[in-house]
Homo-oligomer: A and B are copies of this chain.
């Protein structure tokens, strides 16, 4: 990934903000230039066209996000422990960068293949066996730590429940007036809800002695606020 000088960096940073919110079509080079504290001419001097700037920004943003996520996947042997780590880290990352998944979902479809091939480039993993997530799930199944689930379905669900509140934030906060998705409280509750869902489901289990303790553990918090 190309090193950038100071001015280029300012432009790319400003462009990232604008592109992530407005997309390539809604973004104005004037807005980017203003935000970067330079003028349009300089933007073109460095990046030639808006589209080339977009490609560079998009690639850096997506690659950076993916590195963060992949770099945070631990190799815990215990699946429950691993899941706790993953959810905790993933929520932290996505709550800090809520615009990135939304941007990708939009531009991959709207941009007629421009983003698509960037994503493809970055995910040079045609062999899904290479994906650490799959490895971890498969190992947990082999070790009988979890029941034999479809890893694809599991991973889709896991990512979905982590990303959803932040991608849908504007809608959620409109539907539920006093919800603050970015608050420490909500994120903590979210983390707990996700872990409980994946580890125990919704049912009240009738499994003997530990049941009451478990039910106690699963009940508490939300009733308080």
Interface residues of A (CB under 8 A from B): 21-26, 99, 102, 104-106, 108-110, 116, 119-120, 123, 125-126, 128, 144-150, 152-154, 156-157, 159-161, 163-165, 167-168, 170-172, 174-177, 179, 189-190, 193-194, 196-208, 215, 218-219, 221-223
Neighbouring B residues of A126 by C-beta, 8 Å: 177
Quick check: B193 and A110 within 8 Å, CB to CB? no
Quick check: B215 and A147 within 8 Å, CB to CB? yes
Neighbouring B residues of A200 by C-beta, 8 Å: 147, 201, 203
Quick check: A157 and B153 within 8 Å, CB to CB? no
Neighbouring B residues of A177 by C-beta, 8 Å: 126
Known: A150-B189, A200-B201, A218-B147. A174 touches B105 (CB 8 A): no
From B156, B197, B204, A157 is in contact (CB under 8 Å) with: B197
Minimum CB–CB distance from A114 to chain B (whole Å) comes to 12
Neighbouring B residues of A161 by C-beta, 8 Å: 156-157, 160-161
Neighbouring B residues of A197 by C-beta, 8 Å: 154, 157, 197-198, 201
